[in-house]
Each structure stands twice: as C-alpha cells, then as structure tokens.
Structure 1
Amino acid sequence: GLLSFHGFATGDPDATLCLWITIYSGIVLDKIILPGEKPDPKWIYFTGLFFLLAFLTKSTAAFLPLPGLLFSVFLFNKQKWLFLNKHFYIMCLLVILLIIGYYFMMEIRRPGYFHHAWDSEYKRIYTNIMPWHTQPFGYYFKNLSTRFFPWCWVLIPSIIVGLRSKTIFIKQLTVFSSVFSISYLLIISIPAVKLEWYDIPVYPFLAVLSSVIFFEVSDWLKSTFSNRRIALPAFFSMFIIITATTLISIVNRIIHPPFKEPLEREGIAMRQLMKEPVINSLKILMRADHPEHYNQINFYREMYLAKKGYRPDIRYSLNELVPGDSVLTCQLPKEDSLSSLKVETIKKINDCFLIHILKNPEFPRE
C-alpha cells in the first residue's frame, strides 16, 4: 500500500497527503472525540491547520476523510460540543477564506488555473475525465488482497476482536478506524476514474485495525499466564516467526523499491545516483505523455540539487544531447536510437543505463 507506485517509496504528493490526513484525523480522535465533555478548543485549529496542509498538497483529496470523521463525531456523541463551539466556525471560516485566497492567487499568477482546477479536481466526482482509468465500484476493495497482503487476512478477525475488547480505548479505536476506512474506500469508489494509489491514506488506519488482534492476544497472555517472563517472549517469538517472510519483504521493498510503470524507473535510478559522487554533466533522457508524469523525476532532481549542488536537466530526445553529457536513460522514444551515437556505458541501474556521450549524434537531414 504505502510503498507502492506514487506512494512513500517514490516521494509523490500522495505520500505527503497521507501524512497530513493521518495527523488531522488522529487529532480528531485523540483530542476531540476521546476526551471528556470539554476538549481543548485549540485542537480544532490544529485540525484546520493540517487539513489546510493536506489541501495545499493535493487539493480536493483533503476533503475525502471528512464524511467519516463527521459520522464518528455523531457516533461518539460529540456533535453538540462541536457544532455549538464558536471555535469550530471560526476555524472553518479561516480555512475557506485561505482556500479561496489560494485560488485567486493562482488565477492571478497563472490565468486559467481555476478553470483547469475545476475540470481536473471537481468535475472528476461526477464526470469520467480519464476513460482509460475507468474501474468498477469494487476496485479498491479487491486491491486490498494484494496491496494489504498478508494483513488483509487478519483484518476482519481483528475488527471483531477489537469490538469485543474489554479495553474501552481499543474498542473506540477500532470503531473510529473502521468508520474511517470504510467511508474513505466507499467515497473514492464512487467516481468512475480510479487510480491505484488513491487509497494510500487509508492504510495507516488499516494497519491500526490489523494490529488490534495482536494487542489483544498479548493482553490475554499477560492475564492468563502468571509467568509473564515466559508468556510474552513466547508470544513475540511466535509473532516474529509467523511474519518473518512479510517483514523481510517489506524491508526489501524499502531498500529496493519495486516499480510497475516505466516512468517510475528514473526516480529509483536517481535515488541510487544520490549515493554516489556528483555528476555535473548529468542529463535525464525521458519523454512522457502528460506533464504530471514528470512530477516524480522533478522531485528527485530537486533532491539531487539539495544534496549535490547540481540539478540534472531533462532531455526529451537524442537531438538535445551534446558530447560530454552523462545521460541517465530508462526509455528511448520510438523514433530515437543510440546507434546514431558513440557512447560509453558507465553503469547499469536496474533497467536503466548511465551512459557518456563521446561524439555528436549524426541525424539524417530531411
């Protein structure tokens, strides 16, 4: 889930969005829903702050958890405190004004921005703006079997155990995380356009749910066996043995992130090059169909600049290369061929090559 394409491994905005959503949803749970009759109003403003950060990260995606959070407020009987609290309305007004101000500022700097945002961010709710990404309603629920494997197998038993828990906090945590996860998955399942990584913000809450059963088993062992020095180590040893394969797989995916789409390869290769001495003549040969497909590689270009003091330029065809260039290439446009160049291969990084241009390319003249 989190380590997938467009997730944490590739440094995409969806990863940052997940961070802000997790923080402001956690504040709602820990500081507004769970406290006594009078939670501290300052946490309302912190919720608004992190919601605003989520909006500035990926626009309307920040709104997706709100139905589940509001349902939880009613479920835990905190609606009277919240909706009769002046700080709630002050926070909402401030957030709305800042969002409107953001759109006006962007429209001034880039005329036509609001129209583009309306078409790409708001119309997608009821309009199929990307027919090539149309998926059935149950797409994200089906994906859990692979993107949340093997923890998906303990998810339902863990929820049942959590709801029957004698620990009030565990029961409340289970209810909140279940409501959040189900509502979020249902909401993102409504639009016809469904991209694989849209479910990323739900995985921290699914992780919480799947861990409940292990907490309850540990608690049961402590209460059942008088000799805790034997019971607890035995439990954790059994847990590690059962999950060893999965844990090794997770660590391996962090060190060597997998990729499914060609446009992910450049970012992984750039991350590897950041561990090596700076290459001041480095260029990236890459062509994508949509401007947003350059977002990932641009992130790593900025990282390279921050760490090495040099920002590699992107080249879209061989025509733009000159002798002396060191070129990272993971794909070649169909009409291009390295046969027209005299190159030296420096190294291979996964499916990518770092090459050095030795002489001018010879292109046929029309």
Structure 2
Amino acid sequence: MLKNNNWLIPYFEGKPDMWNTKPPLMIWMQVICSKIFGYSELAMRLPSAIAAFLLVLYLQYFVKRYLNNFWFGLITCIVLVTSYGYINVHSTRTGDYDSLLCLFLVVYVLSYFLYLEHKNKRDLLFFFVALILAVLTKSIQGLLFLPALFIYTLMDKKFFIFKDLNVYKGIALFVFTIGTYYLLREMYNPGYLNAVWENELGGRYMNTVEEHTGEFLFYYNMLLKHHFKEWIWLVPIGFIIGISFRNILFRKLTYFSALISLSYWLIISSSKTKLEWYEIPLFPFLAMIIAMGIFGIFYYLLIEPKLKTIFLFPVMSFLFLISLSYVPYTKMVDKVYLPKEYPWDEEFYQLSYYLKHALGKLEETRAYNICYDGYHAHILFYLNQLNDLGQNIGFKDWVFLEKGDLIIASQSNVKQYIEQYYIYELLSENKTIKKYRIIDLKC
C-alpha cells in the first residue's frame, strides 16, 4: 500500500491479499506512520501502542463520567496494564490488529452502556462510530460483543432503545459504511467476499483453521496459568464486592462487566479455531471487575468515617494497593525492559534478527536468496527494507537451487536438505544462521 498507493486493497508479495481478509484500517494507520516516520518497526508498532494509551485514557474518562471516581479508574488501569496477556505480542507490543480492536470494542461497549443510563445522543454516536471502526479493524470479531449488549438491554428493561429513531439511523450508517467497503472491495478484487466467508465467518468459527485448535477451556486455562494468573483469583472477589455496593451504579457496572466477559468468553471458547490473542478484549472488563474488589477495600480503609480520622488507615489503604500491584508491575517491567526469548522461539526469530543487523552491514546480504519454509511475513518486512537499499535479496525454493546461488538459511529442515542434496561451500555460521554458496547438485 505504501508503494502502490492502493488504499482499498492490501497486497502481499505483489498480489491482492486473500489470506488476511480483514479490512485495512490498521494497515492505513501503519502506512500513515510510515510516511511520517519512515518504513520501520516503530511505524508498524506505533498504532498498537497509541491504541493502548487511548484505551487507558478512555477508561478514566468513562469512570469519571459514570462513577465520578478517580481511584476506581486508576485501579482499573493498573490492573489492565499489568495484565501479562494484554501487554504482549500480538497486542500492544507488536504491529497486529488486536490492540486497536480492543480500543474500539471497549469504546462502543461502554458508550452503549452510558447511552442506556443517560440517553445522551453523543454516546449513541460514539457507539456507532466505534462499532464501525471495530469492524473496519478486524471484521466479524468487531461484532462479538453485540449479543451481550442485546441481552443486557433486555435484562435492564431499556426497551426505549427499540423505539429510538436515532438507533435506526445509526444502524443505517453502519450498514452503509461497512457494506460500501465490502462491495467496493469485491468489485475491484473479485472473490474477496467468498474469501471472507471461508476465512472469517463459517470457516474460522465452524472449522479449525491452520491447526489452531484447543479444548473448550483453552482460554480459561490460558488466563489462569499464563496471561492473567496474578489477577484472576480476584475476579470472584471483585464480583461479590461489586454487587454488594450500596451505590447502584457500582452494582450495575459489575453485572454489566460480568455479562460482557462471560458472553465473549463463551463465544470464543465455542469456536473451533482458537488463538491466544482472541482473549485480549476480555482484559479491560475483567480489570473493572477486579477493580471493584480492590476499590471496595481501598475505599473502606481510606474513607470509612470510623477510620479516616486515624492516620494509619489512609496509609494502609495505599500500602494495600501497592502490595497487590507490586508483583504484577515488576513482572511487567522485566518483560518489557528485559525480555526473555524462549528456546523454541530462537529458530523462528533468529533470521529476523540477522536481517535487521544486516541493515547496518549491507555487504552481508547483497545478492543472497533466503530459503525459508512456511509463512514469512516477519522476514519479508526486513527483506523489503534491504531491497529498498539496493540489496537485490529474495526468496528461493531450496529444492531448486542452482550453481552459484548464494543462500541464507536458518531452519533445521532446510539446512539439512541443502547439505544432503547439494555440494556447497559454507561461507559463515552464526547461531542458527548458515550462509552457503551452491557449487552443484549431488549426483
């Protein structure tokens, strides 16, 4: 898109991308960042980081409007940004769709909640705008909170919404905007709608795609054992305290957050295709439930009339908050500033590291070809940068190498094939990276 200026159809290796069929809102943002900052890792990842920052600001804005309470918003944000699965790859730290999607999902869900409470047309407008942007970010996944919103509307007996003309105007705006994009895409990229159906609708939900399978409790176990293990034990405590508040606003928000979380979890758990980053939209709502419990104790220690005159209790309230968040926070700092690479990731990432390093030593890659088995978009990013600098480097099938080829390989199976079937000169070896000159095919 940065090179061909086709803002409607994303391309992959010179052809319309029919594998990644998501609308291109995230790609638009990355292209804009590339025009401003240059084609770089920063440009790819900045939209995700900005989305995370805006989500934190929006949560504070929402809490201020609905509860008029700074501390509850702060606690919610602390829980969110110390959630291992939220500050993670494929979320806030990489150039993927899910951080941006999470922002728009939270905005439209909480805007709808505010509209039910206050009947402010501005909230309804925010709901539909964010809903449109969520779908333009990640297609069908942007709609997965709607069933819970419908159920909550019925449970809370907010039947006025079905008679509100502005709601139907918003639906018309949504259908027109999303329909226009998909029809234009199909017009200029025939077969796109069929690819969407196979990849995103019936195909991904009803069938296992690319062997990404798992049991029904896949996401529960992921939260429990990995991505939310420092906080998840507080979810039931937060729910019980939340529904016990005298203030009905806290009780309603607790029930609402629990319904949203449960509904979304059931939907993604029922899908045949399971990927760990599908759980990302859960974190803000689980954070609010947990914040109910922490805030309940914090507020009692800080404000309770019988205790607030005693200096010790305000101090204890802050110590309580710090003690709960200390371990998750320090783990997050270590994760961000002292990242650890698992042994099973070394082979996958080593070639990317090598090519990134080669940007400063161009003679190391000039006129080489890369032999790589599998999806290689993470490598293509650096390869494109090298070719922009005149390196003339590309991919080549290791089965059809020719005399004189200069080859870079990092995967065990590829290196084994080259060494078994070709006469070669090993030019260099660095960790998992080997550079070969092909002399001839073995007889």
TM-score of the superposition, structure 2-length normalised?
A: 0.65
Q: Counterpart of 2:244?
A: 164
Moved more, 145-154 or 247-256: 247-256
Provide Cα deviations, 1:87-144, integer angstroms capped at 9, x if missing partner: 2111111211222222222223322111111111111366314272232222222222
* Amino acid in the other structure paired with 2:322: I
Q: Counterpart of 1:34?
A: 117
SS, match of residue 175 in structure 1 = helix
Alpha-carbon distance in structure 1 between the residues aligned to 2:347 and 2:95: 11
Alpha-carbon distance in structure 2 between the residues aligned to 1:267 and 1:329: 7
Provide Cα deviations, 1:66-86, integer angstroms capped at 9, x if missing partner: 111222223333331x22111
SS, match of residue 312 in structure 2 = helix
SS, match of residue 437 in structure 2 = coil
**Count of aligned positions:** 342
1:185-224 alignment to 2 at 5 Å? 185-222=265-302, 223=304, 224=306
Q: Counterpart of 2:319?
A: 237
Q: Counterpart of 1:155?
A: 235
Q: Counterpart of 2:93?
A: 9
Q: 1:288 to 1:365 in 2, by over 3 A?
A: closer
The yes-or-no answer on 1:289 pairing with 2:379 is no
Contact 1:5–1:264 (CA<8 Å) still a contact in 2?
no
SS, match of residue 342 in structure 1 = strand
Q: 1:218 to 1:129 in 2, by over 3 A?
A: closer
Q: 1:88 aligns with which of 159, 167, 186?
A: 167
Q: 2:143 aligns with which of 35, 58, 63?
A: 63
Alpha-carbon distance in structure 2 between the residues aligned to 1:215 and 1:202: 20
Contact 1:266–1:330 (CA<8 Å) still a contact in 2?
no
The answer for unaligned runs of 5 or more in structure 1 is none
Q: Counterpart of 2:8?
A: none
SS, match of residue 221 in structure 2 = helix
Which of the pair has the greater relative contact order for Cα pairs under 8 Å at 6+ separation?
1
Q: Counterpart of 1:180?
A: 260
Contact 1:174–1:209 (CA<8 Å) still a contact in 2?
yes
Alpha-carbon distance in structure 1 between the residues aligned to 2:224 and 2:351: 26
1:328-343 alignment to 2 at 5 Å? 333=414, 334-336=416-418, 340-343=425-428
Moved more, 222-231 or 42-51: 222-231
Q: 1:310 to 1:67 in 2, by over 3 A?
A: farther
Alpha-carbon distance in structure 1 between the residues aligned to 2:380 and 2:116: 40
CA offset at residue 273 of structure 1? 5.6
Alpha-carbon distance in structure 1 between the residues aligned to 2:254 and 2:261: 10
Q: 1:328 to 1:362 in 2, by over 3 A?
A: closer
Provide Cα deviations, 1:160-209, integer angstroms capped at 9, x if missing partner: 00110123332222111101100000111222222222111111111111
Contact 1:2–1:203 (CA<8 Å) still a contact in 2?
yes
Q: Counterpart of 2:192?
A: 113
Q: Counterpart of 2:337?
A: 255
Alpha-carbon distance in structure 2 between the residues aligned to 1:316 and 1:21: 41
Alpha-carbon distance in structure 2 between the residues aligned to 1:61 and 1:289: 26
Contact 2:372–2:411 (CA<8 Å) still a contact in 1?
no
Alpha-carbon distance in structure 2 between the residues aligned to 1:52 and 1:322: 49
Provide Cα deviations, 1:251-301, integer angstroms capped at 9, x if missing partner: 122234456664995499669969x985656869573534xx62x566788
SS, match of residue 362 in structure 1 = strand
Alpha-carbon distance in structure 1 between the residues aligned to 2:121 and 2:230: 40
Alpha-carbon distance in structure 1 between the residues aligned to 2:346 and 2:429: 24
SS, match of residue 361 in structure 1 = strand
* Amino acid in the other structure paired with 1:255: Y
The answer for unaligned runs of 5 or more in structure 2 is 1-84
CA offset at residue 62 of structure 1? 0.6
TM-score of the superposition, structure 1-length normalised?
A: 0.77
Q: Provide the alpha-carbon RMSD of the alignment.
A: 3.8
Alpha-carbon distance in structure 2 between the residues aligned to 1:227 and 1:316: 75
CA offset at residue 315 of structure 1? 4.1
The yes-or-no answer on 1:364 pairing with 2:443 is no
SS, match of residue 171 in structure 2 = helix
% identity of equivalent residues: 25
Contact 1:135–1:194 (CA<8 Å) still a contact in 2?
yes
* Amino acid in the other structure paired with 1:225: L
Q: 1:171 to 1:273 in 2, by over 3 A?
A: farther
